[in-house]
Amino acid sequence: MLKWDVVYHIGVPVLDKQHNRIIELANDLVVNILRCEDIEKERQITEAALAELVAYTANHLQEEEGYMQQYNYPEIAEHKREHEILMTEAQRILAESQQGKGGFSFDALMVMKKWLEEHILVCDKKLGAFLQLAEQKHEK
């Protein structure tokens, strides 16, 4: 199981803290599903945890986009598109769960989790490097 790790560090403390929380929420969700033996109970736990993860992630993405706008990040369009794809998928999994069609697919959740982690490692890292540089210039 992937844990919050220094590899996820993008060098912007506020965003790092949020990424840490997102990974924590996603990990807990997966662990709870794997541990639970009662399907009905599992459904209730995961639905609440999934809703929390999706809401927290949505807020984080918005805040991140705020930074991109503020610092005129040149790759804002591409980065925002990635966020949209991620949120569409997250909302779909959440809706699937809330419609009570026997819960959502565990595979879909794992795909989303992997997606989140990769997004941090690739897109957010790039943004982090840019923001750090912008900060340095600002301080001079």
| Chain residues that interact with Fe ion, rule: CB under 5 A | 64, 124
What is the helix, strand, coil percentage profile of the chain, to 5? 80, 0, 20
Q: Which is nearer to Fe ion, 69 or 105 (CB)?
A: 69
Whose CB is nearest to Fe ion?
124
Shortest distance, CB of residue 116 to Fe ion, whole angstroms? Answer: 8
Could you say which DSSP state residue 72 is in? T
Q: Which is nearer to Fe ion, 36 or 115 (CB)?
A: 115
Shortest distance, CB of residue 11 to Fe ion, whole angstroms? Answer: 13
Shortest distance, CB of residue 109 to Fe ion, whole angstroms? Answer: 18
Q: Which is nearer to Fe ion, 117 or 124 (CB)?
A: 124
The position carrying tokens 């982690």 is 117
Buried b / exposed e along 93-126 (16+ C-beta atoms within 10 A)? bbebbeeeeebbeeeebeebbeebbebbeebbbe
